[in-house]
Amino acid sequence: MKKEINLLVTLDLAKEDRERIQSVSDGINLRVNHVRDAAAIPDEQWAEVEALYTGRILPDPAKAPKLKWVQFDTAGVDRYLEDLTRLSPEVTTTTMSGVITVQIAEYVVMTLLAMGHKVPLLRHYQAEKTWPDRQIRQKGLMPVELRNSTVGILGYGSIGREVARLLQPFAPKVLAMKRDVMHPEDTGYTPEGMGDPHGDLFHRLYPIEALHSVLAECDFVVVTLPLTDQTRHILNAEAFAAMKKTAYLVNVGRGALIDERAFVDAIRNKVIAGAALDVFEQEPLPVESPLWQLENVILSPHISWLSDKFADERLSLFIQNLNRYMAGLPLYNQVDLNKGY
């Protein structure tokens, strides 16, 4: 018997996007309601919804008794965990993990090269319209090459794996860290030819408990961890003290992974050499934040995910999951509420 579902999408979809979704099956009753508040959707509509494709809107569970699947258009759900726990245990939640990996990984490689080749210092000299003398220039501008360096990737999910893949031509030693070291493979969504689905591209894999041992070895540290109770402020004063004084840090995960007060002290006291931050504990970054004034720190306004291909890529993943849902197959990127991601 043909499966029929009522699918509600709260995102702004173009006509061709709606047609792509509808082409999956004529059993899909698609309704697009681009709103910013669950209350803007009529109760009678919520009462019939079986599948929801959304950015951040979740219903009152009592009003959506038929809901079985929620697909978010974000890779992380830490902001929505409290609301998700109110849903029925029978509701499956999935994310967009794997969609925005390439652009973020390219951002990471860009910042690694920029910091290693002293671009912030070069920009300072450019603003001053002068170069240091030859002796200072050779010492102060000596690059830290990725070749023969050690890069630690904290959080070996879809983004961390794509970083490892892009780093291969530079030939660094890659140390990866993930929660479950007994399963190095990636069972989530991975675009063909991307990432490290089988866990082949790192030199060693560590559990999260070995954080300080990993940090002590690294010339560059890339943070792509999810934000959970366990990882909040995981990069704190003790962690910075474990790092090399010549090491650089990149955070494209969540701002609260870093204790920003301890980070400011670490930069000012030269405990670490520099950093690139695309995420912050408070966004947008307040004008009074001391982060703005730090030397050897590259800041960007949470834009490492930006891509003109993002809309098409996220829809492609959703359609893959929709096909699997209609066929009764396991969905990609299922959220484990106990883990928080």
Helix (H) or strand (E) holding 174: strand 173-177
233 is catalytic: no
DSSP 3-state of 55: coil
Do residues 172 and 275 share a domain? yes
Residue among 19, 209, 283, 295 flagged as catalytic: 283
Q: Are 83 and 119 part of one and the same domain?
A: no
Give 87's Cβ-side CA count (13 Å radius): 23
The pLDDT tens digits of the residues spanning 211-236 come to 999 999 999 999 999 999 999 999 99
**Cα 32 from chain centroid?**
27
Domain-located, residue 340? no
Identify whether 333 is part of a domain: no
CATH number, residue 53: 3.40.50.720
pTM for the model stands at 0.93
270: left (phi over 0), alpha (psi -120 to 50) or beta: left
Does 214 lie in the same domain as 143? yes
pLDDT at 329 (0 to 100) = 96
Confidence at residue 135, expressed as pLDDT on a 0 to 100 scale: 86
Q: What is each CA distance from 230 to 13, 209, 225, 234, 256, in whole angstroms?
A: 36, 10, 11, 8, 11
Q: Which residue has the tokens 């490492």?
A: 304
**Do 208 and 270 share a domain, yes or no?**
yes
User: What are the C-alpha distances in Å from 148 to residues 130, 151, 219, 337?
Assistant: 32, 10, 10, 39
What's the average model confidence in pLDDT over 57-61?
Answer: 95
| List 117, 232, 233, 302, catalytic entry | 302
Q: Is residue 339 part of a domain?
A: no
Angle at 237 between CA 235 and CA 243, to 5 degrees: 70
- Average the pLDDT over each of 58-62, 74-78, 251-255 and give the range with the smallest value: 74-78
Q: Which of 179, 254, 260, 314 is catalytic?
A: 254
212: helix, strand or coil: helix
The distance between the two most distant Cα atoms of the chain, rounded to a whole number of Å, is 80
Residue 1 has pLDDT above 60, yes or no: no
**Per-residue pLDDT, 253:** 97
Digit-coded pLDDT (tens) for 273-297: 999 999 999 999 999 999 999 999 9
Known catalytic residue at 283:
yes
Given this model, what pLDDT does residue 322 score? Answer: 98
pLDDT in the model for residue 136: 81
User: What is the 8-class DSSP label of residue 106?
Assistant: H
Q: Are 111 and 189 members of one domain? A: yes
Helix pair 101-116, 158-167: axis angle to 10 deg? 50
Q: Is 302 a catalytic residue?
A: yes
Q: Do 261 and 214 have their domain in common?
A: yes
In the predicted model, what is the mean pLDDT of the chain? 95
Asked, for residue 77, whether it belongs to a domain, the answer is yes
pLDDT value at residue 241: 98
Q: Is the pLDDT of residue 308 over 90?
A: yes
Three-state DSSP at 128 gives helix
Q: Are residues 260 and 239 in the same domain?
A: yes
What is the average pLDDT across 114-127?
Answer: 95
Q: Minimal CA–CA distance to 61: which of 77, 85, 80?
A: 85
Residue 335 located in a structural domain: no
Domain-embedded: residue 50: yes
The whole domain housing 124 covers 101-299
Looking at the structure of the chain, the number of domains it has is 2
Backbone region of residue 328 per phi and psi (left: phi > 0; alpha: psi in -120 to 50; beta: other values): left
